[in-house]
Amino acid sequence: MKKTISVIIPAYNEENNIINTVLRINKTLLSMNMNIEIIIVDDGSTDSTLLLLNKYFDKVLNFKIVNNETNLGKGAAIRAGIDRAMGDYIVFIDADLDISSEQIKVLLDIMQIEEADVVIGSKMHKCSVIEYPIGRRILSLGYYFIIKILFKLNLHDTQTGLKLFKKEVLKKVSIKEVGFTYDLELLVNINNLGYKIAEAPIVLKPQRRFGRLGLGTAWQIWRDTIKLYFILRRKNDL
């Protein structure tokens, strides 16, 4: 029997990209010998993202559109997608497709080869090809050391927007965070349960001239990371 793969796409104000993104992901999945499901979660967009999704994909087989009426954060959007996912494998991928959907195949291959339960894309993998400003590289490196020290997590990159999970793993953990540290909390919990997490090389080519990660967002990520550390420490998860 064919396995099913569910791809969750959190989207916020992506009217310029969302249709092309969904079509490209669908094309990638159709080339694979699997049943497919695409779940697009509109996280309270204030532009025409939801309108376009409903126009092109409403009631289309194997597509699900989820609407968060207000902007709750990327973690909340991912949680909403997980709740509706039926696949044996579940993928998270960012709507901007800085990392192309074709790389989903790479993660699946690595999951099989390394007998991993989770595979995450990593900008710091030795085989990754990154078109990234030097400032972002420095931030990523600094964040890696903070994560290693605070959370004892032997992963080089928790924030890249492409991740693959076996469904049964996600069913064993919960995400409380709703913002940018949702994936860090998820990976810490998965690691604590003893599941194997592998890292995969990626090709990253920013699709926007100006990225969304400004100094304000970077500060919020650092602040939420420290907050998460104390939350998990109180729970004796660290």
Print pLDDT tens along the chain (238 aa). 899 999 999 999 999 999 999 999 999 999 999 999 999 999 999 999 999 999 999 989 999 999 999 999 999 999 999 999 999 999 999 999 999 999 999 999 999 999 999 999 999 999 999 887 777 788 888 899 999 999 989 999 998 999 999 999 999 998 787 777 899 999 999 999 999 999 999 999 886 554 555 567 778 888 889 999 998 888 877 7
What are the structural domain ranges in the chain?
4-134+157-210
**What pLDDT is stored for residue 210 in this prediction?**
45
**What pLDDT is stored for residue 211 in this prediction?**
53
Single pTM value for the model? 0.92
Q: How far apart are CA 232 and CA 214, in angstroms?
A: 27
Q: How far apart are CA 96 and CA 180, in angstroms?
A: 16
**What pLDDT is stored for residue 113 in this prediction?**
97
- Sign of the Cα pseudo-torsion (218, 221, 225, 231, in order): positive
- Token code pair at residue 157: 């990159």
Q: Is 121 exposed, middle or buried (0-12, 13-18, 19+ CB in 10 A)?
A: buried
Give the DSSP letter string of 202-218. Answer: -EE--SSSS-S--HHHH
CA 85 to chain centroid:
14
* 51 φ, ψ (degrees, to nearest 5): -60, -45
CA 9 to chain centroid:
8
**What pLDDT is stored for residue 21 in this prediction?**
96
Q: Is 215 exposed, middle or buried (0-12, 13-18, 19+ CB in 10 A)?
A: exposed
Angle, in degrees to the nearest 10, between helices 134-151 and 215-234? 10
Q: What is the CATH number of domain 4-134+157-210?
A: 3.90.550.10
